[in-house]
Each structure stands twice: as structure tokens, then as C-alpha cells.
Amino acid sequence: MSNVIQLLPDHVANQIAAGEVVQRPASVIKELLENSIDAGAGRIQVVIKDAGKTLIQVIDDGVGMNITDARMSFERHATSKIKIADDLFALRTKGFRGEALASIAAIAHVELKTKTTQDEVGTCIKVEGSQIVTQEPCVTPKGTCISVKNLFYNIPARRNFLKSDNVESRHIIDEFQRVALAHPDISFSLTHNDNELFQLPVANHRLRITNILGGKTNEKLVPVDEDTEIVKISGFVGKPEFAKKSRGEQFFFVNNRFIKSPYLNHAVTASFEGLLKDKSYPSYFLYLEVDPKSIDINIHPTKTEIKFDDEHALYAILKSSIKHSLGQFNVAPMLDFERDSDLDTPYNYSAKQASAPQIEVDRNFNPFQNEANQAAAYATATYKKEKTASWESLYSGMQAEVDPGADIKQIEFESEEVTGNLFGAKEEQAEKSTFQLHKKYIVSTLKSGILVIDQHRAHTRVLYEELLKNITVSAAVSQQLLFPLRLSFNNHEVEMLKEIRESLEQTGFIFSAINKDEVEISGIPTLIPESEVEILLEKLIADFEKDVPNDGFSQTDLLAKSLANSMAVRSGTLLNSTEQQHIVNRLFACKEPALSPYNKTVFTTLSVDELDKKFA
């Protein structure tokens, strides 16, 4: 019997490793940026084309590599970060596995140009599918320039699984922002298809956050600072009134490495207890410094998950630190929030003896001394009462000349009819054929039994079909605002609004200006209150971030679904009889009344036979 188990060839092993390390173009950006940071770069430039599918180029001014190191960098498990196994528990650098360049070179065309300060000329190496094609001297500045072209060219299946350029660009921007937020002492720039997206100078953490997310972010930040034996916490949390409906602006950094931790995220959310609206999430940018021996960052291929030695202590410290900051800066109410600091007793007064107060009395004071003078003044004073017109003069000239022969019964008086009803009809005139159950369901009668309708899903279906008609067939009616709304968004959110601007205008929105970090709206759909426009747009952006459609129809469908879901009547809203009947009538005028836009059941029926069985 022949041997079954054999060693894999190097190029096959590299492709398998690439499946773990390189999932999409954003993974390449992350690995190359981390290598540049470990090389001591002070300025890093990132250039991408076609969302990284055609070109990914990272240029840094780090220490560079000599000809031997440049050749060795493409070998598997070749690294300068660790030498022995114990080094894994004292990591201060980003990459340490030595698989990044080898994995990238296995699935793309890679060109490396690098030069150290000591070398007169640099080295240029070209690799295609793990095979070194050329290696020659070249003229290049100090540092390293890596160009990755035609990603997944030899794995068509993986290339077909890549999403649209919009989706992949969003992932690249996310990875870029995570690295840039962790290292404000390094200058970064990002260019996509010759369009400069970010130009970030050297700054502190607060300025770096503001440069990435927009100038209006500065006023939303509350500093957090705590230093203990277990962990040193610094950074910022967002004020509760600026909480969003999505989890976009939530960043944890441990030893300058971005991580995802649901456990620590719960600690932050718990510290905002009682301060946030329902289904709102706070923003935070928290930097944790711990002993490298107390964490294990080698439990996940992307190194975004970390295992802590003492998570419970870290949870308690993080929660109390954020609560302290919110109270210190008067964001959260304190028990004695009207305390006057001037009334505080200094500590050095605790041992001081009390002294008796000194009383001084003016024995020559006579309270009746000026009484005679005051009486004479009152006696000589003369008061002249001004003559005012009688109250009848107020009505002078208002006597109406009435024809004595006119019949008073024939005079018609103008009256204003007050409806006060959402749908413009009198509730008394509506048939009492429906009633509301638990402010969630609308119950109506049928010939064969009872009809139970979910009011939120029903209204969502009605609005969804109406919005689809407005977007695809005719423009919707818009109500003009007396004062335009100015809403603040970060660069990424503004770009997303630009992509769906045309569809939003078909629903009734009117954008008078879209700037780098601000949007001005002068008109909104008639069904949306002005106070809910910002919440609705934030929810819309969050939905598009989860699923960015590839074609125009999918974009229109997602837009109509998101808007309808946000605008529909919520469960827990009290409806009168007319409003209930209006929803029922419009629901059964829809093309698909049985299902919501998200394919969930809208109504159910209970027949008389089923009721009879209940009482059998």
C-alpha cells in the first residue's frame, strides 16, 4: 500500500495560509500598514485602485531592508519580531507570524522596493504566485514601497466572492481608520482612484479622531483617564445626547492594537445605564495599556480578538472609569449636583480652633432722628393726578351701522371647523369595526372569524409600496422647511449619502448642500416629522453599511425598506378608530398585504370553527 500522507508543496501551503490571512483587499491593507508601523515609519501613504482589486500600494519612510532581508521577507514563518517561543508573551509589535507577505505573494503580483540608510541603492523584487520573477538593484528613497496587483488572480473563486467596489472600499476605509486612530504620531494618507480621501497629519488622539470623523466630533467627546496596576485607560467616550442608532464609532485599542470585545463593550454600555435612549449606542475611543504577559493575541488569525488574564477586574475598572468621567464633566447627574464648591471646608481647617465672633454696636444710632424731616417732606409734596381718557373712548369709532330692516337670522357667521385628526376625518363618523390590543395589534371582524394585524408591519408594507412608487414612477411631495436643517456626518457617511442622494430626492428630500462633514436639508417628505430626520438618516446609513447593494434596483429596494421601517407606526403607539381603519384599508389595497418587506407575517386569522373548538 502506497503512502497516503504527503507534505504539501510550498505554493499550496501559502495559498491555504492566504485563506486565513487575506480575506479581501482590506486584509492586505491591514497587514502592510502593520509592517510599516513596525519598521518605524513616520509617514505612510496608501494608494488603491478599483477598491484594491487592481492595485494596493503602501509607501513608508521606515528603516527599509537590505537585499538579504528583502528576499527572506517572502518566505513563510520568516520574521524579525520573535526568536523564541517566550517572545510570544512579550509582544510589542504588530505582525509576528511571518505569514503576511508570503500569503499575499501567493495570490497576487507583488513588487517590493526597499532601501536602508546604509545602502547606496535599493532592491526591487517581483513575485508572482510565490515565484520570484526578478530581483535587481533600483533607485528608491529610504523605506519600503510594496505594490500588490491583481489580487486573487490565480484563485478565480475567491475573486468572484468579492463584493462590489463600494463594499470593499468601505472595508478598506474601516481598516485604515483603525490603524490611523491607534497611531496619531504617524502621518497617514489614503488615495482611491486618484481621489484623496484622507490626509492625516501628526497629532494627538483627540485631533486624530476629529480629523477622521469631522470637526463637529470634538464637542461630543468626554475624556476618560485612569491609571491602575492592572490597566491604564485613556481616550474618549461620546456624550449620551449624541448616541447613534448604529455601532459604527466604537473602538477598543489594547497596546495600540484594534480589538473586538463584546465583554468590554458591555462594560461601556453598562456605564451609560439610564442615559441613553432605547436602541441607541454610545461612541467611544478607548486606549488600554496592559502588561503583554497578561494577554494572548494569538487566538485569532486576524489578531482582532484578545484573551485577558483577569477580565472581571478589567470590566469593573473600565465601567467605573467611564462613570467617573461622565459625572466629573457633568454629563451624568450627580447626587449633589447643586453643590457650591465655595462652601467646601479645606482639609487644613480640621484641626483649627473655633473663634468667638466679635459684635460691634453703634450706640449713637437713633432710628427716629429723620422721622420729622420725612413727615415734612410728605406734607409739602404735591401729587398731580393725570387725567386719563374714559374706558368708553377705547371703543370709539367701532359702532357698526346696522340696517334696521335686516333680519338677524339671515346673517351667516364664519366658523372654523376643528378636526384635530391625523387622517382628516371625524372619528365619530368612522365605523367602530376595529379595536387595538396591547397597543400593538389591530383586531377586526370577518364573516368567518377574527382578523389580527401587526400594526407596525402593516404600516411598513403600506409605506414601502408607496415609497417604491414614488422613487420609480413619480416624485413624492416635499414640504419646504422655514429654516434648513444642518446635520453633521463623518466623511464616510457623507459619501454614502451622495451615492443615494438621487433616490432620496425622489422620496421628498431636498438637499441644498452636501459638504465634507455637513449636510444641509431644505425639504423633507410630508410623512416625516422634522425632529426625526437625523435619526432616520442615521438608521438609513446603518442599513446601507450592513448591505450595500450592487445595482440600482437593489439600492432602491433597500432604501424603501429602510425608510418605511423607520417611518411606520411603532408598537406601543395608541391609535384611534379612524387611524386603525385607515391602516387596515390601505393594507388590503397593497399588492402583497400578507408579508412585510422583510418577509414576515403581517396578519393572521382566527376562524369561528377554531373558536368553537376552544369552548368545546
Task: Spell out the SS3 assignment of 567-598.
Answer: HCCCCCCCCCHHHHHHHHHHHCCCCCCCECCC
Average pLDDT (403-407) is 56
Q: Helix axis angle, 205-213 relative to 165-182, nearest 10°? A: 160
* Cell numbers found for residue 1: 500500500
Same domain, 175 and 247: no
Same domain, 145 and 239: no
Range from 134-148, 469-483, 549-563, 602-616 that averages highest in pLDDT: 134-148
Q: Which of 110, 142, 105 is nearest to 126 (CA)?
A: 110
Same domain, 247 and 280: yes
Same domain, 185 and 79: yes
Same domain, 525 and 557: yes
What does the pLDDT read at residue 395?
61
Same domain, 149 and 289: no
Same domain, 165 and 218: no
Say whether pLDDT at 404 is over 50.
Answer: yes
| Structural domain includes residue 73 | yes
Lowest mean pLDDT among 27-41, 231-245, 397-411, 479-493: 397-411
| Structural domain includes residue 224 | yes
HEC profile of 383-442: CCCCCCCCHHHHHCCCCCCCCCCCCHHHCCCCCCCCCCCCCCCCHHHCCCCEEEECCCEE
Q: End-to-end alpha-carbon separation of the chain, Å?
A: 73
Same domain, 181 and 277: no
Amino acid in position 213: L
How many angstroms separate the CA atoms of 306 and 299, rounded? Answer: 7
Q: Is 236 helix (H, G, I), strand (E, B) or coil?
A: strand
Average pLDDT (583-606) is 91
Same domain, 192 and 215: no
Residue 276, classified by CB atoms within 10 Å of its CB into exposed (0-12), middle (13-18) or buried (19+), is middle
| Structural domain includes residue 2 | no
Please state, as a whole number, how many other Cβ atoms lie within 10 Å of the Cβ of residue 117: 8
| Structural domain includes residue 337 | no
How many angstroms separate the CA atoms of 324 and 90, rounded? Answer: 32
Residue 444 C-beta-side C-alpha neighbours within 13 Å: 23
Confidence at 532, pLDDT banded by 50, 70, 90: confident
| Structural domain includes residue 177 | yes
Q: Is 122 helix (H, G, I), strand (E, B) or coil?
A: strand
Q: Where are the alpha helices (DSSP H) in 475-589?
A: 491-499, 501-507, 533-546, 552-567, 577-587
Say whether pLDDT at 341 is over 50.
Answer: yes
Mean pLDDT of all residues in the chain? 80
β-pair type (187-192, 43-49): parallel
Instruction: Read off the CATH number of the domain in which 196 is found.
Output: 3.30.565.10
Same domain, 447 and 532: yes
* Biggest distance spanned by C-alpha atoms of the chain: 138
Average pLDDT (143-169) is 86
Where in the sequence is the domain holding 193, given as residue range(s)? Answer: 10-200
Domain boundary among 328, 363, 387: 328
What does the pLDDT read at residue 429?
45
Instruction: Read off the CATH number of the domain in which 454 is found.
Output: 3.30.1370.100
Same domain, 190 and 322: no
Could you read off the pLDDT of 175-194 as tens digits, one per residue? Answer: 999 999 999 999 999 999 98
Number of domains forming the structure of the chain: 3
Instruction: Read off the CATH number of the domain in which 291 is found.
Output: 3.30.230.10
132 membership: H or E segment, kind and range: strand 131-138
How many angstroms separate the CA atoms of 55 and 300, rounded? Answer: 27
| Structural domain includes residue 525 | yes
Identify any residues that bridge with 524 across adjacent strands, giving them in sequence order. 479
Which phi and psi angles does 277 have, rounded to 5°? -75, 170
Could you read off the pLDDT of 24-55 as tens digits, one per residue? Answer: 899 899 989 988 998 889 999 999 999 899 99
Domain boundary among 311, 328, 345: 328
| Structural domain includes residue 354 | no
Which phi and psi angles does 34 have, rounded to 5°? -65, -40
Domain boundary among 200, 234, 265: 200
Same domain, 122 and 219: no
| Structural domain includes residue 34 | yes
What does the pLDDT read at residue 1?
54
Task: Considering only CA atoms, give the Rg of the chain.
Answer: 36
Please state, as a whole number, how many other Cβ atoms lie within 10 Å of the Cβ of residue 53: 19
Q: Which of 211, 200, 261, 255 is nearest to 233 (CA)?
A: 255
β-pair type (250-254, 284-289): parallel
Q: Which residue pairs, CB below 8 angstroms and at least 24 apart, start in 423-431?
A: 423/578, 423/579, 423/582, 425/578, 426/578, 427/576, 427/577, 427/578, 430/577, 430/578, 430/581, 431/577, 431/581
